[in-house]
């Protein structure tokens, strides 16, 4: 698939000639959200719910009307006519389920992380491309009005040069059976950075520290760091053990600083016209310390944002990309860049926080994609 969707597209296909047909695989915690949005969408006919736990599938189907339920993906593909499947099963099953669906000629929306390894992700992307099918990762936050506005402000240069990013995603989370806290939560932050930062998510190396203070068998608290271009730095803190819930990202720029507080619906975004300036031409080295640094104390403003559910945009984007043969804003390539960083995180954890190289600089970044569609 060689074309890429413009993330600013506002599809005008509100009354499509034919609704596309889809089934949801996985009726646990997240699958019902996908099912609800698909059923409410003018683009989609929700044809079936599939779960190995048929009771769970039936319970979800009962909330949605008379929707058939099936017990396995194979049964689904054999008995239900669909254009696409939306997969909301645990991360370690994504590769197997996605490959099965792609080989059956179905477009796929798969939950984050795209896969449980970069090698698996590469196979999935290659399979989708070879068959001309859409493979889209549900990096849900990239479809929120707040993150869209952040992307707009950063790409327009309103913040100036990006000096630092600090992202915090902590709360009392479910300890996942198959992935650590980095692979569970950091895909959100990394996908957002891939979408928002001018060069996309493209670090040469990453260092990470994790901890499992309760002895659960996997890291429940994690910190990862990487360099931004021009010596800036990005830090992501993810944590399943925090009794307080924080969803905050600060993007500090040479002109302005952006603060996203996702738990404050009255003011999710704040733009601070404040910062530190450095006079780069001090009169003498001795004067540098006292004279060179100054503080700007300007206004703070809050951009107006629409309130709308991100998943409604996710399912709209999936339909748009299928109809127009475009790669999604959070397509396979973006999913792969996130996996590349996560794998480097895992390697860094294994070497006591030393920086680990990130594979895949050859992958096209969001920014490069945007360049091409403009
Ligand atoms: N986008 C988001 O914001 C977001 C939020 C939460 C979870 N997720 C993602 O959603 C996925 C599922 O997470 P969850 O918390 O809903 O998990 P869950 O364990 O609550 O539910 C998973 C369901 O999948 C079923 N299942 C497992 N393997 C299957 C298979 N091969 N075929 C059919 N059904 C199968 C299980 O029986 C279970 O009902 C994960 O990848 C997770 O990272 C995304």
Write the DSSP symbol of residue 91: G
pLDDT at 134: 98
Task: Give the separation between CA 85 and CA 94, rounded to whole angstroms.
Answer: 12
The pocket around ligand 1, CB under 6 angstroms, is made up of 25-31, 50-53, 56, 73, 88-91, 93, 97, 111-112, 138, 140
Query: Which residue out of 23, 24, 25, 28 has the highest number of ligand 1 atoms within 8 Å of its CB and is therefore the one to mutate?
Result: 28
Which atom of ligand 1 sits closest to the CA of residue 57? 39
Gyration radius from the chain CA atoms: 22
Residue of the CA atom closest to atom 38 of ligand 1: 28
pLDDT digit string (tens) for the chain, length 374 residues: 444 444 445 454 555 569 999 999 999 999 999 999 999 999 999 999 999 999 999 999 999 998 999 999 999 999 999 999 999 999 999 999 999 999 999 999 999 999 999 999 999 999 999 999 999 999 999 999 999 999 999 999 999 999 999 999 999 998 888 899 999 999 999 999 999 999 899 999 999 999 999 999 999 999 999 999 989 999 999 999 999 999 999 999 999 999 999 999 999 999 999 888 776 665 565 555 555 788 888 899 999 998 899 999 999 999 999 999 999 999 999 999 999 999 999 999 999 999 999 998 555 544 444 444 33
- Residue 224 pairs with which residues in a beta bridge? 208, 236
Which atom of ligand 1 sits closest to the CA of residue 188? 3
Question: 172 alpha carbon to ligand 1 midpoint, in Å?
Answer: 18
DSSP alpha helix (H) spans, the chain: 31-40, 54-64, 73-79, 94-103, 118-130, 145-155, 181-196, 285-291, 310-324, 332-350, 366-373
- Residue 103 C-alpha from the chain's centroid: 25
Which atom of ligand 1 sits closest to the CA of residue 50? 33
Question: 345 alpha carbon to ligand 1 midpoint, in Å?
Answer: 23
Query: Which residue out of 37, 60, 72, 111 has the highest number of ligand 1 atoms within 8 Å of its CB and is therefore the one to mutate?
Result: 111
pLDDT at 275: 82
CB count, 10 Å around CB of 58?
14
Domains of the chain: 3-140+311-331 (3.40.50.720), 142-308+338-351 (3.30.360.10)
Which atom of ligand 1 sits closest to the CA of residue 139? 1
């Amino acid at each position: 698939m060689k074309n890429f969707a413009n993330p600013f597209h506002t599809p005008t296909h509100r009354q499509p000639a034919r609704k596309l047909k889809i089934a949801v695989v996985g009726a646990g915690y997240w699958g019902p959200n996908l099912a609800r949005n698909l059923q409410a969408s003018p683009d989609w006919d929700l044809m079936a719910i599939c779960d190995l736990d048929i009771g769970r599938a039936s319970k979800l189907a009962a909330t949605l009307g008379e929707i058939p339920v099936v017990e396995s993906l194979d049964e689904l593909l054999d008995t239900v006519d669909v254009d696409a499947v939306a997969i909301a099963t645990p991360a370690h099953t994504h590769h197997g389920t996605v490959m099965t669906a792609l080989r059956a000629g179905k477009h796929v929306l798969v939950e984050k992380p795209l896969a449980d390894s970069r090698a698996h992700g590469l196979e999935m992307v290659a399979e989708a491309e070879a068959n001309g099918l859409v493979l889209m990762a549900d990096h849900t936050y990239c479809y929120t009005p707040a993150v869209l506005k952040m992307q707009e402000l950063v790409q327009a240069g309103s913040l100036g040069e990006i000096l630092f990013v600090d992202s915090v995603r902590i709360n009392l989370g479910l300890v996942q059976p198959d992935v650590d806290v980095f692979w569970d939560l950091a895909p959100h932050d990394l996908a957002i950075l891939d979408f928002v930062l001018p060069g996309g998510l493209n670090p040469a190396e990453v260092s990470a520290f994790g901890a499992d203070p309760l002895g659960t068998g996997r890291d429940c608290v994690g910190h990862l760091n990487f360099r931004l271009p021009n010596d800036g730095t990005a830090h992501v803190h993810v944590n399943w053990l925090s009794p307080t819930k924080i969803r905050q990202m600060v993007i500090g720029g040479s002109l302005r600083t952006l603060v996203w507080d996702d738990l404050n619906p009255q003011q999710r975004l704040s733009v601070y016209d404040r910062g530190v300036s450095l006079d780069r031409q001090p009169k003498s080295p001795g004067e540098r310390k006292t004279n060179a640094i100054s503080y700007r104390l300007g206004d703070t403003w809050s951009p107006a944002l629409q309130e709308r559910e991100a998943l409604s945009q996710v399912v709209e984007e999936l339909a748009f990309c299928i109809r127009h043969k475009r790669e999604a804003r959070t397509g396979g390539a973006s999913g792969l860049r996130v996996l590349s960083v996560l794998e480097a995180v895992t390697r860094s954890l294994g070497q006591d926080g030393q920086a680990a190289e990130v594979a895949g600089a050859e992958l096209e970044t969001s920014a490069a994609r945007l360049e091409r569609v403009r």
